[in-house]
Amino acid sequence: MTRETSLSFARFVAIMLPVALLGGALGSQHIGGLYPCEMCMWQRWPHLAAIGAALIAIFLRGNPPMSATFTMIAALAVATSGAIGAFHAGVEYGWWQGITSCASTAPAEGQSMLDSIMAATLVRCDVAPWELFGISLAGYNAILSIGGALLIALLVRKWSRQ
């Protein structure tokens, strides 16, 4: 892999990974009906930041050092989401206690406050709404985000050493 190819691939991973993970989260919410808890929402913000940093890195591809810097910022944001996901997964598996508040869906238009409170779907942060092979969505976010951030960092490191 050439020097420029490793940085290009790092930028590709830096944009595609958070787009895919955020898209999966939004799809599971709006198509699958899996409403996010508060910690699920926390995991989304760093992915949005990573997308912004990766877009800047792509825009600056003519200036490889600056592009590499923004690619690493994207990797850091992806890793942050992964760390939040790891904490959230630990709460779901009962390894440690998480936050005590719950999230709910937005009230329907025209509903009174009491009616919306009584009809709201409460989403607990300590209960995984979905699992595959014993791993929750937060667990998958942790695995994919931390792994992806490491891959991006290794690719940028390879670029910088050549």
Q: What confidence tens digit (pLDDT) does each residue in 128-147 have?
A: 676 678 878 888 999 999 99
Looking at the DSSP assignment, which residues form a beta bridge with residue 103?
123
Query: What residue spans define the domains of the chain?
Result: 3-161
Q: What is the Cα gyration radius of the chain? A: 18
Q: Is 95 exposed, middle or buried (0-12, 13-18, 19+ CB in 10 A)?
A: exposed
Instruction: Provide the whole-model pTM.
Output: 0.80
Q: When comparing pLDDT for 106 and 72, which is higher?
A: 72
Q: Which class in CATH covers the domain with range 3-161?
A: mainly alpha
